């Protein structure tokens, strides 16, 4: 019973963290990251500033933790791909999660991506995201790795493959932002990932 109670508390804590992140992201979209204070986020989430700091150390952590959540969703998408699907196309299929986010709310996504790239306090955290997503995606890619990769290089190769695909994703989003979000992210990502894959197989 104690374990069940602890599990329920953890679920409730995660749900409240997600709620705070959502409230904060809406404020960031409306006013810009620098203009939003922790007091304002706490008030909008109907809690005290002291309670806010029980869940997040800073408002930067709100953005980073949201990116980590997306990373976990990506890892689940990747794991859900057919086991006989090769690593690179499996990654592209998993990235449909990001395409859906972009195409579903382009104006909001454009603001958030611009905020990530232009806010000095968040740029370094954006690089952290890259590293964390690589670590989340690499275990599944390791399972999909072909047998001709030497055993000693399999784990590093899986991480490198994730990094290459994420670089394509980041570049695709940059192109998408430059176009003002007026085009679909999917074809841009397809073109970049196809180009990188063609260079590898040429």
CATH number at residue 192: 1.10.357.10
**DSSP 8-state class, residue 181:** T
CATH number at residue 16: 1.10.10.60
Mean pLDDT of 171-200: 92
Choose the weakest-confidence range: 10-14, 47-51, 55-59: 10-14
Give the total number of structural domains in the chain: 2
pLDDT in the model for residue 201: 57
pLDDT in the model for residue 196: 93
Average pLDDT, the chain: 88
Same domain, 10 and 106: no
pLDDT in the model for residue 5: 59
Query: Which pair of tokens denotes residue 147?
Result: 């047998």
Same domain, 20 and 107: no
Boundary residue ending a domain (25, 56, 87): 56
pLDDT grade, residue 171 (50/70/90)?
Answer: very high
Same domain, 24 and 120: no
Give the C-alpha separation, 46 to 40, whole Å. 10
User: Among residues 23, 180, 167, which one has the least CA distance to residue 106?
Assistant: 180
Same domain, 47 and 89: no
Query: Which conformational region is residue 32 in: left (phi greater than 0), alpha (psi within -120 to 50 degrees), or beta?
Result: left
Same domain, 62 and 26: no
Could you give the percent of the chain with pLDDT greater than 90? Answer: 50
Same domain, 92 and 40: no
Instruction: State yes or no: pLDDT of 102 exceeds 80.
Output: yes
Mean pLDDT of 78-83: 95
Same domain, 11 and 34: yes
- Residue 115 · residue 28 · CB < 8 Å: yes
Boundary residue ending a domain (15, 30, 56): 56
| Higher-confidence position of 94 and 132 | 94
Give the C-alpha separation, 156 to 56, whole Å. 32
Range(s) of the domain holding residue 9: 1-56
Same domain, 46 and 86: no
Same domain, 97 and 188: yes
Interval 1-48: pLDDT, tens: 555 656 778 888 888 988 998 898 889 888 888 899 999 999 999 999
Same domain, 153 and 185: yes
pLDDT in the model for residue 6: 61
Half-sphere exposure of 95 (CA within 13 A, CB side): 25
Same domain, 99 and 189: yes
pLDDT in the model for residue 3: 54
Same domain, 91 and 50: no
């Amino acid at each position: 019973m104690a374990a069940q109670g602890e599990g329920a508390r953890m679920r409730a804590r995660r749900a409240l963290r997600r709620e705070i992140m959502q409230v904060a992201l809406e404020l960031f979209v409306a006013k810009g990251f620098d203009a939003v204070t922790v007091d304002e986020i706490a008030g909008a989430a109907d809690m005290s500033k002291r309670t806010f700091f029980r869940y997040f150390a800073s408002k930067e952590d709100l953005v980073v933790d949201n990116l980590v959540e997306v990373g976990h969703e990506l890892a689940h998408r990747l794991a859900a791909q057919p086991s006989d699907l090769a690593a690179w196309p499996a990654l592209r299929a998993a990235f449909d999660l990001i395409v859906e986010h972009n195409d579903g709310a382009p104006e909001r996504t454009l603001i958030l991506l611009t905020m990530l790239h232009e806010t000095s306090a968040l740029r370094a955290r954006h690089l952290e995201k890259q590293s964390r997503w690589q670590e989340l995606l690499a275990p599944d890619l390791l399972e999909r790795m072909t047998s001709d990769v030497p055993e000693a290089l399999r784990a590093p190769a899986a991480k490198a493959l994730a990094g290459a695909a994420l670089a394509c994703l980041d570049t695709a989003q940059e192109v998408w932002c430059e176009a003002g979000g007026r085009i679909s992210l999917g074809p841009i990502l397809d073109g970049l990932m196809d180009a990188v894959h063609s260079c590898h197989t040429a």
